[in-house]
A and B are shown apart, each in its own frame.
Chain A
Amino acid sequence: MSETAVQTKEVTPQVSGASKAADALEARLGALSLPAGGFTAGARAEALARLRDMGLPGPRDEYWRYTDPRAFNTARPAPLAIEENAPDSPLFADIDKLTLVFVDGEFDAEASDDLSLDGIVIDTLAQADAAGDHWARDLYGVLEASGQSPVKRPFAALNTVAARDGVLIHVTGKPSKPVHVIHRRADEAADVNWHHVVRVETGAELTLLETGMVGARSNGVLEADLAKGAKLHHITSKRAGHQTVGLSHIFARVEAEAQLKAFALSVNGTVMRHEGVIDIVGDDAVAHIAAAALGDGNVGRFHHDDTVFITHAAERCESRQVFKKVLKNGAEGVFQGKILVKPGAQKTDGYQISQALLLDEASQFLAKPELEIYADDVKCSHGSTTGAIDETALFYLRSRGVPYERAIVFLVLSFLADALEEIEDEVLREQINDRLEAWLTRRAKQ
């Protein structure tokens, strides 16, 4: 079977292949209604040129070897049955926060809070883009563009071209509460591109939460610019339907003494990929990026990919990547993580760990950790492990009367603990932990 397929490919002339790919891109673009853009118009035009130059990825692209890009290349997503949208994500429901609701990627002012809050100015992309010039002009598509090298990220460029809405947050102080973006879905064939821009000024701080249900196909970009001593915590837990395919990207520039902490929880989703591109450009800065993904191949295909690129371009900076995946019933996990230490980035402390807990032999994890170091006085380490449930710990729990399924839940939570540790706020961490526990308990019996 597979041999026949290869032969078919070989007789296809190269030229036709290339033009087919270009056609596919034009079809992909044609299926979206592309905004002309106001202050973003220039950025969108440049991104379109960039995208046409790069083309859509194919399985031969170095960073698309383990994840099949086809679901993201098709003109339209496969529609999905919209189950009930939870009226409000129970996650973070009971904490004080400022909420913005996006339905299929478009801001829903009715369902959202008033956007004024001390220390912070919040706009939404579609409105701001219609209104004229904006501070976000210096960042929209800019961090994405600089993140295109050395690794191409065509879907991020596509997002800059196509994004209809998103949140633009200018943080000048220390707002009293987090900003919470909630996604909802309405159209069963929604092909959503949202694009957030966050600028945290010197000494300012923001916690940004992002939860909710994403549509049939989603592609998100967050561009985050952290000035000297700024702090940004980004915590996401997006729920995907079992047929959903989705991409998300964080492009961050971290200046001196600033701190970026990003954590993402994902459950379900057919093909999901999260890319993190972090440039540490000022001395004594800290960037942590962590994620926990849980997949059960029994409820549909599950393929989850974390692709991270951290560049150290300054001295005495610390980066940490903690990526954990729990896979069962034929679920697949991918981790591609790189630490690049540029010449002169002395005293860099770079740490990377990727781990998979396979709950059965049908599931698999592929990891590609990379270090590229051009400075001599640095401390960098990376590790990757794939393992099963620890039988001794399982027996210990059961010997105390903890039933088998409950014991597995405990051990999975235990496995995920150091990723969750990256959530500094104890209340938020507890809520994520409870969400996880509920999901695990629900799925334990299958």
Chain B
Amino acid sequence: MLKIDNLHVKLEEEDKQILKGLSLEVPAGEVHAIMGPNGSGKSTLSYVLSGRDGYEVTEGGATLEGEDLLDMDPEERAAAGLFLAFQYPVEIPGVGNMTFLRTAVNAQRKARGEEELSSGEFLKLVRAKAKDLQIDAEMLKRPVNVGFSGGEKKRNEILQMAMLEPRMCIMDETDSGLDVDAMRLVSDGVNALRDAGRSFLVITHYQRLLNHIKPDVVHIMSNGRIVKSGGPELALQVEEEGYGDLLAEAG
């Protein structure tokens, strides 16, 4: 599904290398987790994959089902099936959540040559999915993320993910700022989306999210590279020992 090969990325404006030869492959249907200390480049990786400006790829590449990701505009990547749940979802005053979401869903459908959803169809769908995430109608009517609590913002990200039905979901610290109940809602939402044709890259700082969303593979990232990969037990090891020993061992 997602293949990242020897990816080197620097900031466009500064001479600062952030990703330093990162390689990773997430096969279809699998959940991979990336863990790593703050500043190791996790968010940068998610931004570069989804097409944010300000970064320069100096070496290596990334493909989504064989298609070169890095050549596409962000909206093309989205239509191709990539989704990023933001670490800090953005507030957009004056733009209704529903209007935004419907525009996004239909723009993607149009880009893929599919029929657009009528407002009736869309409403029915969004209501059902919002209900599962305990997002009430009032929240849907409000402007995008404005006045949402941290947990509500994250649930709204998952709602968008559920509506857009991407094939490759990247989640950047979706667990940060969530209480136990919100964590369960978000995890249930994600688990409901798991299927053979959909993959996840779950970036997290803590092991606890991975108790709910069981990963197939855990990668440890440090200083712009994957330094170790393993099974779910690697996350437990991080939880118990911290990154110190692991990173020392990886050199």
Contact = CB atoms under 8 A, between A and B. Distances in A.
Nearest to B170: A399
A332 to B, nearest CB: 24
A417 B93 contact: yes
A402 B144 CA distance: 14
A401 B92 contact: no
Contacts of A387: none
A439 interface: no
A370 interface: no
B149 to A, nearest CB: 18
Interface string A164-178: 000000000000000
Given A391-B53, A397-B100, A420-B94, A402 B75 contact: yes
A402 B92 contact: no
B100 A417 contact: no
Which of A396, A414, A417, A418 lies at the interface centre, i.e. has the most chain B CB atoms within 10 A of its CB?
Answer: A396
Given A399-B50, A399-B51, A401-B164, A406 B103 contact: yes
Nearest to B160: A400
A395 B107 contact: no
Nearest to A416: B94
A413 interface: yes
Interface in A366-411: 391-393, 395-404, 406-407, 410-411
Given A393-B92, A413-B95, A417-B143, A399 B84 contact: yes
A353 B95 CA distance: 20
Contacts of B101: 400
Interface residues of B, number: 32
Given A406-B103, A410-B100, A401 B111 contact: yes
Nearest to A417: B94
B86 interface: yes
Nearest to A393: B90
A400 B93 contact: no
B234 interface: no
Contacts of B73: 398, 404
9 contacts: A393-B90, A399-B78, A400-B164, A401-B111, A410-B100, A411-B92, A414-B143, A417-B95, A418-B93
Given A398-B73, A399-B77, A401-B75, 8 more contacts: A391-B54, A399-B50, A400-B164, A401-B111, A402-B107, A410-B100, A411-B92, A415-B94
Interface of B: 47, 50-54, 73-75, 77-79, 83-84, 86, 89-90, 92-95, 100-101, 103-105, 107-108, 111, 143, 160, 164
